[in-house]
Amino acid sequence: PSCPGSTIPIKFSEKQQSSHYLYVREHKVREGTRSSWPQKRTLFVLNVPPYCTEECLSRLLSPCGPVQSVELQEKPELAESPKEPPSKFFHPKPVPGFQVAYVLFQKPGSVSAALALKGPLLVSTESHPVRSGVLKWIRDYTDSVPDPEALRVEVDAFMETYDRKIAEEEAKAKEEEGIPDDEGWVKVTRRGRRPVLPRTEAASLRVLERERRKRARKELLNFYAWQHRETKMEHLAQLRKKFEEDKQRIELMRAQRKFRPY
């Protein structure tokens, strides 16, 4: 459905002479279509520049009313879809280029106030500077280094949610097992098969070492005929040398009258 919109001019800083324009309108969807963003309180924003972060957009629109949340996306969402909580560890890369934004206000009147903004609004100010260039790269690199404890907490929370989801699916499948559907079909599962044991890092290293030794045994030690002949000649030379050494030692012991073979 068509709904009135407006443009909001913004500038990166006071030094910038030309303005960049945000295209805003109230977020609405067709009848019968569900959306994860509440209507009447959500502002849809187009043409958001890369230097305008979620914090910047929230600060620019805060004079219109308290902002509950801001989310930047690569393109508009077409229907409701389950959203995972954002993670700075597993989704660290921002969307390149211009983006769209959903701004959720706490009060419905804030949307009308945002549509009436004239601007221009400043993204980077003395009280709220926005880093760019090399300083931005340094900050992004610093933020990309994860905190081990925070990462562990997030991984544990994710695994708890995953285990709970798998347990619910198994319980649901067990309840539906053997029960025919509306057309009389019975769903057959593969839960009776022997589960695969999880492979730990130590077990994986043992398997790799075992495979390495097996490959080493299969390799040909003396591939060429001349290598085989040289190996035999070296072995005979070592035997002759050992025989001569033993012979000299026996002669020495006989001379010292210490040799008693019987």
Neighbours of 1 (CB within 10 A): 6
Together in a domain, 226 and 124: no
Together in a domain, 14 and 111: yes
Query: Residue 235 belongs to what domain range?
Result: 220-254
Domains held by the chain: number: 2
Residue 38, in any domain of the structure: yes
Task: For residues 225 and 100, give the distance between their C-alpha atoms in angstroms, rounded to a whole number.
Answer: 73
One-letter-per-residue 3-state SS of 108-166: CHHHHHHHCCCCCEECCCCCCCCCCCHHHHHHHHHHHCCCHHHHHHHHHHHHHHHHHHH
The pLDDT score that the predictor gives to residue 1 is: 44
Residue corresponding to tokens 């030690």: 221
- Please provide the average confidence, as pLDDT, over all residues in the chain: 79
Q: Output the domain CATH number for residue 44.
A: 3.30.70.330
Residue 86, in any domain of the structure: yes
Residue 30, in any domain of the structure: yes
Task: For residues 151 and 90, give the distance between their C-alpha atoms in angstroms, rounded to a whole number.
Answer: 10
pLDDT tens-digit map of 3-36: 577 899 988 888 888 888 999 998 887 776 777 7
Q: Report the share of the chain in percent with pLDDT over 70.
A: 79
Run of H or E residues at 6: strand 5-11
Write down which residue in 112, 131, 150 finishes a domain: 131
140 vs 46 pLDDT, higher one: 46
Query: Which whole number is the average pLDDT over 209-238?
Result: 76
Task: For residues 48 and 250, give the distance between their C-alpha atoms in angstroms, rounded to a whole number.
Answer: 97
Band of the pLDDT at 243, cuts 50, 70, 90? very high
Together in a domain, 23 and 122: yes
Together in a domain, 13 and 127: yes
4 vs 125 pLDDT, higher one: 125
Together in a domain, 123 and 17: yes
Residue 187, in any domain of the structure: no
Does the pTM surpass 0.75? The reply is: no
Band of the pLDDT at 254, cuts 50, 70, 90? confident
pLDDT tens-digit map of 47-105: 998 888 888 999 999 999 999 988 888 888 765 555 555 666 666 566 677 889 999 99
Write down which residue in 99, 114, 131 finishes a domain: 131
Residue 32, in any domain of the structure: yes
Residue 182, in any domain of the structure: no
Residue 201, in any domain of the structure: no
